[in-house]
Structure 1
Amino acid sequence: MREVTEQAVTSPGICRICSAHCGVLATVTDGRLTKVTGDPDNPMFKGYSCAKGRALPEIHNNPHRLLHSQRRCADGSYEPVAAEPAMNEIATRLSELIAEHGPRSVALYLGTNGLPYPASPLMANAFIRAIESPMFFTANTIDQPGKQIALAAHGHWLGGDVDFHGADSWMLIGTNPLVSKAIGIPGQNPARNLKDALARGMRLIVVDPRRSPTAARAAIHLQPRPGEDAAIVAAMLNVIISEGLCDDDFLAENVDGFTELARAVSGFTPAYVAERADVPEQQLVEAARLFATHGERGGMVNAGTGANFAMHGNLLEYLCLCLTTICGRWQRAGRRVTRPNTLMPAFAAKAQAHPPYEGWGYGERLRVRGLTDAVCGMPTAALADEILLEGDGQVKALICVGGNPMAAWPDQRKTQRALESLDLLVTLDTEMSLTSRLADYVIAPKMQMETPAMTQGSELIKFYASGTGIPAAYGQYAPRLVDPPAGSDLTEEWEFFVGLAKRMSLDMWFVNFFGGGGGRFMESPPVVLNVNGDTDMTTEELFEQMCANSRIPLSEVAAHPHGKIFDVDAVVAEKDAGCTDRLDVGNTHLLAELEAMLTDDFGAARSESAFPFRLIPRRHGNFMNSSGTALDALNRGKAYNPVYMHPDAMAALGIDDGALVTVSSPHDHIPSVLEADETLRRDVVAMHHAFGGLVTEDHEVRDRGSNVGRLVPTETDYDPITGMPRQGNIPVRVSARPN
Structure 2
Amino acid sequence: MDVTTRPGICRICSAHCGVLATVTDGKLTKVTGDPDNPMFQGYTCVKGRALPEIHNNPLRLLQSQKRAPDGTYAAVEAQRAMDEIAAKLQQLIDTHGPRSIALYLGTNGLPYPASALMANAFIRAIESPMFFTANTIDQPGKQIALAAHGHWLGGDVDFHEADSWMLIGTNPLVSKAIGIPGQNPARNLKAALARGMQLIVIDPRRSQTASRAAIHIQPLPGEDVTIVAGMIHVIIREGLYDSEFLVENVDGFDALTRAVAGFTPDYVAERADIPEQQLLDAARLFATHGHRPGMVNAGTGANFAMHGNLLEYLCLCLTTICGRWQRAGERVTRPNTLMPAFEAKAQPHAPYEGWGYGERLRVRGLTDAVCGMPTAALADEILLEGDGQVKALICIGGNPMAAWPDQRKTQRALESLELLVTLDTEMSLTSRLADYVIAPKMQMETPAMTQGSELIKYYTSGTGIPAAYAQYSPRLVDPPEGSDLTEEWEFFLGLAKRMGLELWFVNFFGGGGGRFMESPPVVVNFNGDTEMTTEELFAHMCTNSRVPLEEVASHPHGKIFDVDAIVHDRDADCSARLDVGNAYMMGDLGDVRTDDFRATRSETTFPLRLIPRRHGSFMNSSGTNLSALNRGKAYNPAYMHPAAMAALGLENGALVTISSPHDSIPSVLEADDSLRHDVIAMHHAFGGLPAEDHEVRDRGSNVGRLVPTDTDFDPITGMPRQGNIPVNITAGFVNAIG
User: Shorter-chain TM-score: which interval?
Assistant: over 0.9
Distance 1:524 1:215 in 2: 37
* Residue of structure 2 equivalent to 1:203: 198
* Residue of structure 2 equivalent to 1:297: 292
Distance 1:514 1:667 in 2: 41
Residue among 546, 550, 555 paired with 1:551: 546
In the alignment, residue 17 of structure 1 is paired with which amino acid? I
Please tell me whether residue 163 in structure 1 is matched to residue 153 in structure 2.
no
Contact 2:233 2:264 (C-alpha < 8 Å) held by counterparts: yes
Structure 1 residues 684, 523: closer, same or farther in 2, change over 3 A?
Answer: closer
Q: Alpha-carbon deviations, 1:44-72, whole Å to 9, x = none?
A: 00000100000000000000000000000
Contact 2:372 2:513 (C-alpha < 8 Å) held by counterparts: no
Deviation at 1:515, TM superposition (A): 4.8
* Residue of structure 1 equivalent to 2:183: 188
Structure 1 residues 109, 608: closer, same or farther in 2, change over 3 A?
Answer: same
In the alignment, residue 616 of structure 1 is paired with which amino acid? I
Distance 2:724 2:303 in 1: 10
Please tell me whether residue 636 in structure 1 is matched to residue 594 in structure 2.
no
Given the two structures, how large is their TM-score scaled by the length of structure 2? Answer: 0.99
Residue among 62, 72, 77 paired with 1:67: 62
In the alignment, residue 236 of structure 2 is paired with which amino acid? I
- 1:313-462 counterparts in 2 under 5 A? 313-462=308-457
Contact 2:334 2:468 (C-alpha < 8 Å) held by counterparts: yes
Please tell me whether residue 470 in structure 1 is matched to residue 465 in structure 2.
yes
Structure 1 residues 467, 59: closer, same or farther in 2, change over 3 A?
Answer: same
Deviation at 1:342, TM superposition (A): 0.3
* Residue of structure 1 equivalent to 2:169: 174
Contact 1:110 1:121 (C-alpha < 8 Å) held by counterparts: yes
Distance 2:306 2:448 in 1: 36
In the alignment, residue 223 of structure 2 is paired with which amino acid? E
Please tell me whether residue 539 in structure 1 is matched to residue 514 in structure 2.
no
Report the secondary structure of 1:598's partner residue.
helix
In the alignment, residue 218 of structure 1 is paired with which amino acid? A
Please tell me whether residue 80 in structure 1 is matched to residue 80 in structure 2.
no
Deviation at 1:513, TM superposition (A): 1.7
Contact 1:650 1:656 (C-alpha < 8 Å) held by counterparts: yes
Residue among 12, 15, 18 paired with 1:17: 12
Residue among 215, 233, 243 paired with 1:248: 243
Contact 1:376 1:516 (C-alpha < 8 Å) held by counterparts: no
Deviation at 1:84, TM superposition (A): 0.5
Stretches of structure 2 lacking an aligned partner (at least 5 in a row)? none
Distance 2:225 2:327 in 1: 27
* Residue of structure 2 equivalent to 1:577: 572
Deviation at 1:522, TM superposition (A): 5.7
Report the secondary structure of 1:268's partner residue.
coil
Q: Alpha-carbon deviations, 1:653-688, whole Å to 9, x = none?
A: 001000100000000000000000000000000000
Distance 1:521 1:620 in 2: 33
- 1:480-629 counterparts in 2 under 5 A? 480-517=475-512, 524-534=519-529, 536-629=531-624
Structure 1 residues 210, 524: closer, same or farther in 2, change over 3 A?
Answer: closer
Residue among 664, 671, 687 paired with 2:682: 687
Distance 1:244 1:495 in 2: 57
Contact 1:641 1:706 (C-alpha < 8 Å) held by counterparts: yes
In the alignment, residue 580 of structure 1 is paired with which amino acid? S
Q: Alpha-carbon deviations, 1:524-559, whole Å to 9, x = none?
A: 521111112256310000000000011100000000
* Residue of structure 1 equivalent to 2:665: 670
Q: Alpha-carbon deviations, 1:493-540, whole Å to 9, x = none?
A: 000000000000012111112352386676652111111225631000
Distance 1:390 1:518 in 2: 29
Q: Alpha-carbon deviations, 1:460-510, whole Å to 9, x = none?
A: 000110000000000000000000000000010000000000000012111
Moved more, 98-107 or 535-544: 535-544
* Residue of structure 2 equivalent to 1:226: 221
Runs of 4+ in 1 over 6 A off after TM superposition: none
Structure 1 residues 418, 355: closer, same or farther in 2, change over 3 A?
Answer: same
CA RMSD, 1 decimal? 1.0
Distance 1:605 1:71 in 2: 50
In the alignment, residue 579 of structure 2 is paired with which amino acid? D
Report the secondary structure of 1:696's partner residue.
helix
Distance 1:482 1:515 in 2: 33
Residue among 272, 278, 291 paired with 2:273: 278
Report the secondary structure of 1:512's partner residue.
strand
Contact 1:122 1:513 (C-alpha < 8 Å) held by counterparts: no
* Residue of structure 2 equivalent to 1:42: 37
Distance 1:726 1:53 in 2: 31
Contact 2:656 2:731 (C-alpha < 8 Å) held by counterparts: yes
Distance 2:259 2:239 in 1: 17
Q: Alpha-carbon deviations, 1:628-677, whole Å to 9, x = none?
A: 00100000000000000000000000010001000000000000000000
Report the secondary structure of 1:37's partner residue.
strand
Distance 2:261 2:399 in 1: 44
Distance 1:635 1:514 in 2: 37
Contact 2:352 2:515 (C-alpha < 8 Å) held by counterparts: no
Report the secondary structure of 2:227's partner residue.
helix
Instruction: Say how many residue pairs are matched.
Output: 734
Given the two structures, how large is their TM-score scaled by the length of structure 1? Answer: 0.99
Report the secondary structure of 2:23's partner residue.
strand
Contact 2:666 2:733 (C-alpha < 8 Å) held by counterparts: no
Identity percentage of aligned residues: 83
Residue among 88, 99, 102 paired with 2:97: 102
Report the secondary structure of 1:263's partner residue.
helix
Report the secondary structure of 1:557's partner residue.
helix
- 1:112-191 counterparts in 2 under 5 A? 112-191=107-186
Contact 1:255 1:585 (C-alpha < 8 Å) held by counterparts: yes
Distance 2:510 2:21 in 1: 31
Contact 1:345 1:522 (C-alpha < 8 Å) held by counterparts: no
* Residue of structure 1 equivalent to 2:474: 479
* Residue of structure 1 equivalent to 2:254: 259
In the alignment, residue 577 of structure 1 is paired with which amino acid? A
Report the secondary structure of 2:520's partner residue.
coil
Stretches of structure 1 lacking an aligned partner (at least 5 in a row)? 1-5
Deviation at 1:607, TM superposition (A): 2.4
Distance 1:558 1:110 in 2: 28
* Residue of structure 2 equivalent to 1:3: none
Deviation at 1:609, TM superposition (A): 1.2
Structure 1 residues 524, 582: closer, same or farther in 2, change over 3 A?
Answer: closer
* Residue of structure 2 equivalent to 1:287: 282
In the alignment, residue 699 of structure 2 is paired with which amino acid? R
Residue among 200, 207, 215 paired with 1:212: 207
Distance 2:186 2:613 in 1: 18
Distance 1:156 1:719 in 2: 23
Q: Alpha-carbon deviations, 1:83-125, whole Å to 9, x = none?
A: 0110000000000000000000000000000133210000000
Residue among 679, 697, 703 paired with 1:708: 703
Contact 1:257 1:585 (C-alpha < 8 Å) held by counterparts: yes
Deviation at 1:74, TM superposition (A): 1.0
Distance 1:125 1:518 in 2: 12
Report the secondary structure of 2:85's partner residue.
helix
